[in-house]
Amino acid sequence: MNDVEIVYNEQKKGIDRIRNFALTAQGVNPFPVPTIPGHQPSEEHVDGLTAKPLWDVAIDPENFPWAQKLEANAHIIMEELQAKLDREALEQSLFAGDSAWQNNVMGTGWSAFRLQRLGVWNGENCKEFPKTTELMRSLNIPFAVRGVCFARQAAGSGVQAHTDGRNFILTSHVGLKVPEGCWMKVGEEKTTWEEGKLVTLDTSFEHSTGNPTDADRHVLIIDFWHPELTEAERAALEFVYDLRNKFESGQIPVRIPKRKPQRLVEDEEGQGLAGIFSFLFGGDKN
């Protein structure tokens, strides 16, 4: 992270908030305190960012210059998904759960088909949706460390209330196939999806969904950086999570720690950075 700071310090752009983020993740700094009802920040927290459950990104071109363009071209995504489902009837094989952790939190009714995960585009999956992939790449969306995926909520199912605690990422859902009656609750606000439109939430607020209908609901999920992060802060966070991902996948060697945690992180939304820092540096979080 020092290299990142050197580069951006020449432009007088510091990363003090990200250094504090790292200290909070290690348990050195105090745990962040919720600012409004429903907010549940975690140790993976950047100070000073606006926290609100739902964001209307389509009416804010200054902070989200890609949002209106995405809505204007949402029909491309809708048509490509529908053609895929009609042609091959792949409801079950196209959408598959990602992990035991996600099945436990999201329930077996929720499943995803990922175009991008942890900053890496899935070439084989992107070939299945070339028009959607081209559109996503053309809009200069500031993609964050989680990804881009089609998500299906099966008829008569829902996702229990949960939060990932990371206040520095926002998530947009593009409504693709939305039966009337579907809902999402974020913090204390309840909303729904509209086909061809964006619903954007801060997933550090507790959120849940429901599909009480007899048809499946489909959206495209896009994770992107909070607009109040600076370019330098984004670069620093990308460095941190790239290191984490390489560590978890065994791509980087590490020294034997003084004490190993009970288990390693199995998913990008599992144990979090606290477990990684504990493993790397032998610390114990009490």
Q: Quote the distance between the C-alpha of residue 275 and its chain's center.
A: 19
* Average pLDDT over all residues of the chain: 84
- Pair (59, 195) in one structural domain: yes
Distance, in Å, from the CA atom of 55 to the CA atom of 46, rounded to the nearest integer, reads: 18
- Pair (138, 160) in one structural domain: yes
Question: What pLDDT band is residue 260 in, cutting at 50, 70 and 90?
Answer: very low
Q: Which two tokens stand for residue 210?
A: 């429901």
- Pair (59, 182) in one structural domain: yes
Residue 244 maps to a domain: yes
Domain that holds residue 101: 54-225
- Pair (77, 116) in one structural domain: yes
Is residue 112 within 8 A of residue 95, CB to CB? The reply is yes
- Pair (139, 166) in one structural domain: yes
Residue 217 maps to a domain: yes
| pLDDT over 70 at 184, yes or no | yes
| pLDDT over 90 at 205, yes or no | yes
- Pair (241, 274) in one structural domain: yes
- Pair (103, 183) in one structural domain: yes
- Pair (187, 257) in one structural domain: no
Average pLDDT over residues 252-268: 47
What is the reported pLDDT for 40?
95
Average pLDDT over residues 92-114: 72
Residue 264 maps to a domain: yes
pLDDT digits (tens, 9 = 90+) for 56-81: 999 999 999 999 999 999 999 999 99
Which helix (H) or strand (E) segment is 123 a member of?
Answer: helix 123-128
Distance, in Å, from the CA atom of 34 to the CA atom of 111, rounded to the nearest integer, reads: 30
Which of 225, 243, 259 is a domain's end point? 225
Residue 286 maps to a domain: no
Average pLDDT over residues 22-29: 93
Amino acid identity of 8?
Y
- Pair (128, 177) in one structural domain: yes
- Pair (143, 236) in one structural domain: no
- Pair (147, 179) in one structural domain: yes
Question: What pLDDT band is residue 30 in, cutting at 50, 70 and 90?
Answer: very high
Q: For residues 261 and 209, which has the higher predicted lDDT (pLDDT)?
A: 209
Residue 4, φ and ψ in degrees, nearest 5: -60, -45
- 144 Cβ neighbours under 8 A, 6+ residues apart: 168, 169, 170, 223, 224, 225
Average pLDDT over residues 215-223: 97
| pLDDT over 50 at 49, yes or no | yes
- Pair (62, 35) in one structural domain: no
